[in-house]
Amino acid sequence: MKERVLRMLGIIGLILLLAYPVSWAQERTPVIEKLNISLWPEFDDPRVLVIMTGKVDEGTHTLRIPLPAKAEVNAVAYPGPDGRLLTAEWTLEQGIHTSVLVVQLPAPAFHVEYYADFIQAEGNERHVVARVPLPQARVEKVHLEVQQPAKTENFVANPPLQAQVTGFGELSYWARDFGPVEPGGVVEQEVRYTRLAPGLSTTPRAQVAEEVPAPAEKAPAPSSEEAAAAEEKKAGPVNWPLLVLALLLVTGTGGGVYYWMRQNAQAEPPAPQQRTPSARRRKKRKTAARSSARPLPKYCPNCGHPFGPNDKYCAMCGTKREA
The 10s digit of each residue's pLDDT in 158-200 is: 999 997 777 666 799 999 999 999 998 999 999 999 999 999 9
Cα–Cα distance measured from residue 127 to residue 129, given in angstroms and rounded to the nearest whole number? 6
User: Is 138 among the domain residues?
Assistant: yes
Asked if the model's pLDDT at residue 31 lies above 90, the reply is yes
CB atoms within 10 A of CB 13: 10
Cα–Cα distance measured from residue 313 to residue 168, given in angstroms and rounded to the nearest whole number? 8
Residue 204, class by beta-carbon neighbours within 10 Å (0-12 exposed, 13-18 middle, 19+ buried)? Answer: middle
Does residue 177 share a domain with residue 44? yes
Q: Which of 161, 180, 200 delimits the end of a domain?
A: 200
User: Is 223 among the domain residues?
Assistant: no
Does residue 303 share a domain with residue 186? no
- When computed from its CA atoms, the radius of gyration of the chain, rounded to whole angstroms, is 33
Answer whether 229's CB lies under 8 Å from 235's CB.
no
Sign (positive or negative) of CA dihedral 38, 207, 73, 214: negative
Give which of 113, 21, 109, 111 is closest to 61, Cα–Cα.
109
Which pLDDT value is given to residue 23? 40
Cα–Cα distance measured from residue 305 to residue 44, given in angstroms and rounded to the nearest whole number? 13
Q: Which of 168, 200, 232 delimits the end of a domain?
A: 200
Answer whether 90's CB lies under 8 Å from 102's CB.
yes
Does residue 156 share a domain with residue 36? yes
User: Is 191 among the domain residues?
Assistant: yes
The number of distinct structural domains making up the chain is 2
User: Is 95 among the domain residues?
Assistant: yes
User: Is 227 among the domain residues?
Assistant: no
User: Is 215 among the domain residues?
Assistant: no
Which pLDDT value is given to residue 302? 82
Does residue 295 share a domain with residue 168? no
Average pLDDT over every residue of 137-149 = 96
Asked if the model's pLDDT at residue 208 lies above 80, the reply is no
Give the amino acid at 104.
Q
Does residue 130 share a domain with residue 35? yes
Which pLDDT value is given to residue 36? 98
Does residue 170 share a domain with residue 80? yes
Which range is most confident: 13-22, 60-69, 250-259?
Answer: 60-69
Does residue 39 share a domain with residue 176? yes
Does residue 56 share a domain with residue 161? yes
Structural domain containing residue 90 = 31-200
* More reliable by pLDDT, 216 or 224: 224
User: Is 108 among the domain residues?
Assistant: yes
Give which of 28, 24, 25, 53 is closest to 38, Cα–Cα.
53
User: Is 189 among the domain residues?
Assistant: yes
Does residue 194 share a domain with residue 57? yes
Cα angle 69, 75, 80 (rounded to 5 degrees) comes to 145
Sheet holding 99-104, edge to edge: 62-67, 99-104, 90-94
* More reliable by pLDDT, 267 or 166: 166
Does residue 195 share a domain with residue 66? yes
Q: Which of 143, 166, 200 delimits the end of a domain?
A: 200
Does residue 195 share a domain with residue 307? no
* More reliable by pLDDT, 211 or 310: 310
Q: What is the CATH number for 166?
A: 2.60.40.1730
Does residue 196 share a domain with residue 298? no
